[in-house]
Chain A
């Protein structure tokens, strides 16, 4: 069509490739460095490793315990995602179908959260958590993350449910289905795309969250990827290899998920960007 490649478009293609290189190079660099020993990292920085050396990975797994952190990140992400999806969908359905008098208020009340940066509330949240010894427990942390990601998911999911035809759930109601039944048996399946968007945004946000995890998770066995990697920054930068290996090990799982669900994740994030 009209956007065909012309000779002067070589520059265009060049830049398209250049940017690809700029985005990929740091990760390529991390991967090759993770296979080198300290000496090679500094002295033959740009060369491929002479031999595949997995010592760094051993150290990342045994000394740094990165796999445990990856597991924790997954636990928090899955937990928060499930809670967000279920609570938001239930709440959104009630609001969307105006089943209660307070629905108009609730809608605004929830949307207010879109404009509030969670970090602004760091101190009271820390205070609330510590006052009840909730730090270093999975469930409270998961609920915290669910709360932080609630407004965004609500915005996406309520919008999606609003767009669904009421005929289906009215038919189910006439068939004798309770409201709860409608939510779980009718709305969940047909609102899947909207719910997935909310889920994926929550999942990614929690997986990579740093500040709350860093203040509320104290035990090493509870720490997430971000916190563990942050611990590597700072005072003992003498052994770079295990650090690079840890980064690679933390990226691989999320990369796999991303590649499997690529289109839905990108679609979801683009839809989520409509925030504001």
Chain B
């Protein structure tokens, strides 16, 4: 008899559980954020905590900047017992995308998230996933008064007829180059700042068993960054504009010549071997161990490099330029590409809590804390009243970056085709497994044509 009662109890439990599901067939289409929000409101009425999720790419406690974020999350939680702040950050880019996109598809997007801005993400703005922050900025002018105004342009969509500001910049970056000076000193070579010099120095380095320039192509963004940075040094932002307008094709002469040059460097051994076996972290490891002499990277790695055992041997300069294109020496890839944004709208039950979280992680106090933790190194979206004397790497970086005549993000970011970035990056990767430049251009252009055909 006992067993039987258990069985009946189980059946009842199942019925309850399944009734949860049965709601979904009728209620599926277009149930937007509002029904979710009202459900949240009921919870709140019951004196429960308001849940706010935050999604960033900071989840690695070994990294100074990410550790700082993690600590601040803990601090926020202890200071705000009424808000249940759920940190679902993940450093892996694909995992971050999956999390964000599944939440958007559900009609219940993550409340505070890192938004990537630019034309590539206009769909999220157009369809009301990302909230306009402009009214908040106007309400609380002190909040953003120290932010560098130019950093907001990628989240300003007025060029597309959409008013408002859709994010607040986090750490801006610049694509730069780190050199292991000790290696060059030992070989009696000047640090090569141009591609011509790098090509000349390469054989001497290779002869000593040193990879001239580490290239961790296993992270596919490396190829994407390289292409844009290189295009700036050859064409300025002209090529970007023409590619976006369609005037220049991805398999056109100019683009292919850039890819060919990259392939030529690879064939000459400038990037060493087995590039698809290691990541950007591997590049830094090679730079530290002396296996590689140069590493093109970005300002976001300055803090990590300062932690190297041989940090004093490392020198920071701009991305190499061409003697043949002196005029584009100060053309940079960089800028802000990571913004904090929110999905909650005024009236939502979690709106106040969401805004509180957003302000907390973008306040002057937040950046001041990071500035102190990083001992003045790295780059920041705000200016500080009291300047901490920075390390030599940061100073080296700033010396170059401050003279930048023009700074753009990765070319694909300016294109409305959201998939373009992945297409370009994964195809640039194939340089390291034997693809020809023209092939790569053709494949990318093929994808672009498919997209255009499907969106007429």
Q: Do chains A and B touch in the complex (CB under 8 A)?
A: yes
A interface with B by C-beta (< 8 Å) = 63, 86-87, 126-135, 139-140, 143, 178, 180-181, 183-185, 214-216, 218-220, 230-231, 234-239
A86-B23 CB under 8 A given contacts A236-B62, A238-B281: no
Contact of B91 among A132, A214, A230, A235 (CB under 8 A): A235
Whether B107 is near chain A, meaning CB under 8 Å from some CB there, is: yes
Mark interface residues in B29-51 (1 if CB within 8 Å of A CB, else 0): 00100001001000000000000
Contact A238 B285 (CB under 8 A): yes
CB distance from B48 to the nearest CB of A (A): 14
Interface segment among B2-10, B204-212, B416-424: the answer is: B2-10
Q: Which residues of A contact B28 (CB under 8 A)?
A: 127-128, 131
Whether B102 is near chain A, meaning CB under 8 Å from some CB there, is: yes
Whether B86 is near chain A, meaning CB under 8 Å from some CB there, is: yes
Contact B102 A180 (CB under 8 A): no
Contacts across chains A and B counted by CB atoms under 8 Å: 91
Additional A-B contacts beyond A235-B92, A237-B278 (8; CB < 8 A)? A86-B10, A127-B28, A131-B107, A131-B108, A132-B20, A183-B7, A234-B94, A234-B279
CB distance from A146 to the nearest CB of B (A): 10
Q: Return the chain B residue nearest A143 by Cβ.
A: B17
- What is the bound-complex CA distance between A237 and B94, given in angstroms? 16
A185-B3 CB under 8 A given contacts A126-B102, A135-B102, A236-B281: yes
Q: Which residues of B contact A130 (CB under 8 A)?
A: 102-103, 105-108
Contact of B7 among A180, A218, A231, A235 (CB under 8 A): A180
Whether B191 is near chain A, meaning CB under 8 Å from some CB there, is: no
Q: Return the chain A residue nearest B60 by Cβ.
A: A236
Q: Which residues of A contact B10 (CB under 8 A)?
A: 86
Q: Which residues of A contact B285 (CB under 8 A)?
A: 238
Contact A133 B108 (CB under 8 A): yes
Mark interface residues in B86-101 (1 if CB within 8 Å of A CB, else 0): 1010111111001100
A231-B92 CB under 8 A given contacts A128-B28, A131-B31, A184-B4: yes
Contact B17 A139 (CB under 8 A): yes
Contact B24 A131 (CB under 8 A): yes
Whether B219 is near chain A, meaning CB under 8 Å from some CB there, is: yes
The interface centre, meaning the residue of A129, A218, A239 with most chain B CB atoms within 10 A of its CB, is: A218
CB distance from B291 to the nearest CB of A (A): 11
Whether B14 is near chain A, meaning CB under 8 Å from some CB there, is: yes
Contact B8 A63 (CB under 8 A): no
Contact of B86 among A181, A219, A230 (CB under 8 A): A219
Contact of A218 among B27, B88, B107, B278 (CB under 8 A): B88
Contact B14 A87 (CB under 8 A): yes
Mark interface residues in B258-296 (1 if CB within 8 Å of A CB, else 0): 000000000000000000001111100100000000000
